[in-house]
Amino acid sequence: MAGEGFVLGVDLDGVVADFYGRLRVIAAEWLGRPVEELSMDGSGISQWGIGEGQDDYERLHRFALTERNLFSTMDPIPGAPQALRGLSRKGVRIRIVTHRLVFKRLHRQSVMQTVKWLDHHDIPYWDLCFLGEKSAVDADCFVDDTPEQVERLAQAGKRVIVYTNFTNTSFDSTDPNPNTDPNPNTGFDSTRARFSGAEGKVSRASNWDEVVAQVISLTDGLADVGRGP
Ligand SMILES: [Mg+2]
């Protein structure tokens, strides 16, 4: 097949799974606040009133995962399952690369809910990688939404498509001469990890049609890839 041998490294949360949309509903319930009060306008989830520290977030995350099945109840990002099925049918090897094993004693539920969710939405994959150091994984192209991950992958010389969402809109991954301001959403100082030698390897996509188009442009003979199953 035309795309045979091409490996696409795909992040889940914020890219294939609507992590923030589901977490927002659970957080509103947990906080006892109307969901509309929890902003999705670019100010980040730190504005939701969860608290500032890792412990504050961990309490919500643990509740969401163990009591509300966070990873098996999210909606897919529109078009993602169809796009991945279309690419897979053309021989593109889908390699899921996710940093979901964040907190102790949640790994079993995190993995089981993830696999259940992938099957439930008929999302094809050959490999399923749970790790934070994504640059340790090989792929011809990655799709990710977290600025820190994008920076590290680009710094390692990887080709990255940044999936645009409210957590990264102010992050200019394509600017080779960034200013010195840390990213206001994450506090991450992008100037300390600028992708030297990786110019032209980072681009943005706002939807899965754009991701598919860019993957097609990276491979020969995939022009007839469709989104339908
Ligand atoms: Mg993500």
Output the pLDDT for position 26.
97
Output the pLDDT for position 161.
94
Averaged pLDDT, 141-165: 92
Does the pLDDT at position 56 exceed 90? no
Does the pLDDT at position 89 exceed 70? yes
69 versus 182: the higher-pLDDT residue is 69
Listed residue (35, 12, 21) closest to 166, CA to CA: 21
**Which residue out of 13, 140, 144, 145 is catalytically annotated?**
13
Ligand 1 mean position, distance from CA 180 (Å): 24
CA 11/CA 14 separation, integer angstroms: 8
Output the pLDDT for position 199.
59
Ligand 1 mean position, distance from CA 145 (Å): 5
Does the pLDDT at position 98 exceed 60? yes
Question: Is 11 known to be catalytic?
Answer: yes
Ligand 1 mean position, distance from CA 3 (Å): 25
Does the pLDDT at position 192 exceed 50? no
Question: Is 13 known to be catalytic?
Answer: yes
Strands, E assignment, the chain: 7-10, 93-98, 127-130, 141-144, 160-163, 202-205
Ligand 1 mean position, distance from CA 146 (Å): 5
Output the pLDDT for position 36.
94
Stated pTM of the model: 0.84
Sorted by where each starts, the structural domains of the chain and their CATH numbers stand as: 7-18+76-218 (3.40.50.1000), 19-72 (no CATH)
